[in-house]
Chains A and B, each alone.
Chain A
Amino acid sequence: MKKRNEVLYFALRNKKLLIGSGIILIFLLLAWVGPAFAKYKPFDYANPLGAEPPSTEYWFGTTFFGQDVFSQFVNGLRATFIVGLLGGGLGTLVGMIIGFAAGYRGGILDEILNAFTNIVLVIPTLAVLLIIAAYLQVRSLLMECLFIGLTAWPWAARAIRAQTFSLRTRDFVDLARLSGMKPYKIVRREIAPNMMSYLVLVFILQFGGAILTAATLDFIGLGPTNAISLGLMMQYAVLWGALPLGMWWWFVPPGLAITAIVGALYSMNVGLDEIFNPKLREM
């Protein structure tokens, strides 16, 4: 009981966590209700005059074709969160499965998984993603989540493996084995709960990483072929001459949002780290 209170106590006093989660909440809210407030659909050619700077009618201005930037923005934000959640979630999940298996089982399985992880770790994710993306010629957002998740896991697996490795040698794990518990159950009931804070951190980092990766893919034209996203907005902006035409309202909001969201996630990560790691609290 006391321990939990202590975490809460620090959590409520940790500026990094509070600011970070505040920003995330604001953007989440925007992504949630924003589309309802948007007056136009993201791809509608709303403004017959074409590109216009922000105004009361078009809050974030319009694109070269007169599409409402605000509408694209809030819908793209939604896509960003979906990618973060699903892609990051999947990456964490795969990382957990492999990390737990390697860390708990040890031995030859560990050697194999470890070698595999190292191999995947060394191969540049983006190069692989590009190739996968090129394979799938019609791409959906979910597909993007899937292949981001399936390539982002190695470092998570490594981190989780290391943690599991150290926890595995603790006597309570031996005791659980002496109680006849099955490995899966030991991992789920004894090891994972001990790493909860760590897993949360891993997830947060995967979340941010997935968002950045998705933005990169989208930007180079390998994003979803049937949806809007913040990365695609930037791609379109660059493609349609927003820079030389000075249409800053087209490329500033999406990048800013990504930076703010990922930055907030990182900030939360550090905040949580400080809460879970008493060593860092004093600094």
Chain B
Amino acid sequence: MLRLDNVSKVYRIGAFGGKALYAVNNVSFEVHKGEVVSLIGESGSGKSTIGKMILRLLDVTEGKITYNGEDISTFKGETLKNYYRQVQGVFQDPFSSYNPIFKADRIFEILREEFFPNIPIPEWQHRVKNALVSVGLNPAHVLNKYPYQLSGGQLQCFLIARALLLDIQFLVADEIISMLDASTRIDVLNLLADLKSRGLSILFITHDLSLAYYISERAVILYKGYVVERGAVEKIFHTPLHPYTRMLMDSIPRLDRKWEKGTTLLERKIEEFRGGCPYYERCPVAEKICAIYRPSLTEVDTDHFVACVHYEPSTNLLGAPAYTEQRTSQSGLG
């Protein structure tokens, strides 16, 4: 239903835009109808950029995003509006999603103005109330209030209700629970799961593998704009292949198991990425070749892809790279 083909996002930096910074690099994946796909990565991995590109809030630099076979970058005016009827987003910071000087329910009013100007107001209010009830809110408690009078969880539900008022088919949920209190997180997460059961497709963006596992069918692991691992969530969760995924797994604070000590490699300096494997600087199992060679995404199992030389059959691990000295001098850790 929604498909990314070799999508890249490049920012131009330098005095005359001379240098290119790849926020997203050659990313491809697909979200099928009624499916939840998790996009996992730490900050700076490009996961939110992908969400914004899907929502047409950012332009795609290279590659193509198609929705039901149509290139979304061609949408304009009415067709774009039509796209937004079907594809919506909810963002990380619930408070930032509301204009602080207006009441929270203004988002519904805007929706009516833009998409349903012909629906009479009483009828619309009725629809709004239904939508609020369906996301588990009591309209009497939450309507006619300013954003700061509502909790983060309520605000996120508001946004989901807003999406439901449209003929929505696809939802981009960008870290929607990371700023919520533990007590309400799970409710919002459950709400998403309920939506899925209604046939909605969801792109669930998160940095938490366990949440991805809780809710999604498939996952995409991003590192510095590259897909390092992708596939069915069970496979990734149970047999993480990429060292980065493994490190993410190990770092999850769990209530049932204590951390293994000292498995995390930390940056000592801000390093510029010079090519090679993006994870090279932090990788505990890096080979010499990783400094200069960027592995491609290889299918190692059905619906399980990974980009790591260790899983690339044809790579000659003995090729001596030029950066050996540098690496040994920089990656010592305490």
Contacts and interface: CB of A to CB of B under 8 A. Distances in A.
Verify whether A and B have any Cβ pair under 8 Å: yes
A179 B97 contact: no
Interface in A127-182: 170-172, 174-181
B91 interface: yes
Interface in B59-108: 80-81, 84, 88-89, 91-93, 96-102, 107
Given A171-B91, A174-B91, A193-B102, A180 B81 contact: yes
A180 B98 contact: no
B91 A179 contact: no
Given A180-B81, A194-B101, A170 B115 contact: no
B57 A174 contact: yes
B111 interface: yes
Contacts of B159: 175
Interface residues of B, number: 26
Interface residues of A, number: 19
Contacts of A1: 146
A190 interface: yes
Contacts of A3: 101, 146
B114 A180 contact: yes
Nearest to A195: B101
A218 to B, nearest CB: 40
A171 B176 CA distance: 12
B322 interface: no
B91 A193 contact: no
A170 B89 CA distance: 14
A194 B96 CA distance: 12
B300 interface: no
A179 B159 CA distance: 12
Contacts of A181: 110, 114
B101 A193 contact: yes
B100 A178 contact: no
B1 interface: no
B55 interface: yes
Contacts of B89: 174-175, 178
Contacts of A190: 99
A11 B57 CA distance: 39
Nearest to B103: A1
Given A171-B93, A172-B96, A178 B84 contact: yes
A180 B84 contact: yes
B98 A172 contact: yes
Given A3-B146, A193-B101, A193-B102, A178 B96 contact: no
Nearest to A108: B17
Given A174-B89, A174-B91, A179 B114 contact: yes
Contact of B55 (A174, A189, A193): A174
B55 A178 contact: yes
A171 B99 CA distance: 9
B102 A170 contact: no
Contacts of B97: 171-172, 175
Contacts of A178: 55, 57, 84, 88-89
Interface in A216-247: none
A108 to B, nearest CB: 10
B132 to A, nearest CB: 17
A179 B110 contact: yes
A170 B96 contact: yes
A174 B97 CA distance: 8
Given A174-B91, A178-B55, A193 B110 contact: no
Contacts of A189: 110
Interface in B7-47: none
A2 B89 CA distance: 30
Contacts of B93: 171
Given A174-B55, A193-B102, A179 B111 contact: yes
Contacts of B107: 175, 179
A244 B291 CA distance: 84
A197 B92 CA distance: 27
A177 B146 contact: no
Nearest to B89: A178
Most chain A CB within a 10 A radius of its CB, from B88, B93, B99, B100: B99
Interface string B108-128: 001100110000000000000
B60 to A, nearest CB: 15
A224 to B, nearest CB: 41
Contacts of B88: 178
A219 B234 CA distance: 81
Nearest 7 pairs of A and B residues by beta carbon: A171-B97, A180-B81, A171-B96, A171-B91, A179-B114, A172-B99, A180-B114
Given A179-B107, A194-B101, 17 more contacts: A1-B146, A2-B146, A3-B101, A172-B99, A174-B89, A174-B91, A175-B89, A175-B97, A175-B159, A178-B55, A178-B88, A178-B89, A180-B80, A181-B110, A181-B114, A189-B110, A196-B101
9 contacts: A171-B92, A171-B93, A175-B97, A178-B57, A179-B84, A180-B114, A189-B110, A193-B99, A196-B101
